[in-house]
Amino acid sequence: MTIKKHHCQVCDTDFDSDVCLKVHFQTEHICMYDGTQLMCPKSYCNKTWPNAEALRNHLISHYAQEILFTE
């Protein structure tokens, strides 16, 4: 039995789920920081957040909706 790991190729970390990996990636690696605010990487969203924790929680809410639609 093999458990598929979701691997971040940037920082070499494994995650339990695809959502965890996406949230990690978009929070840690591709978020845009203008000096004071972190920007949501979703192009249709454009919300900004004061810290990575707030952005992470926000991204989880994006993916929570996707999970509802795909499962």
Exactly one of 42, 50, 52, 67 binds Zn ion (CB under 5 A); which one? 42
β-pair partners for 13: 8
β-pair partners for 6: 15
Contact predicate 23/58, CB 8 Å: no
Give the Cα separation of 49 and 23 in Å (integer).
14
Q: Is 1 or 43 the residue whose CB approaches Zn ion more closely?
A: 43
The verdict on 10 binding Zn ion (CB under 5 A) reads: yes
Q: Is 1 or 46 the residue whose CB approaches Zn ion more closely?
A: 46
Which residues are at the interface with Zn ion (CB under 5 A)?
A: 8, 10-11, 40, 42, 45, 47
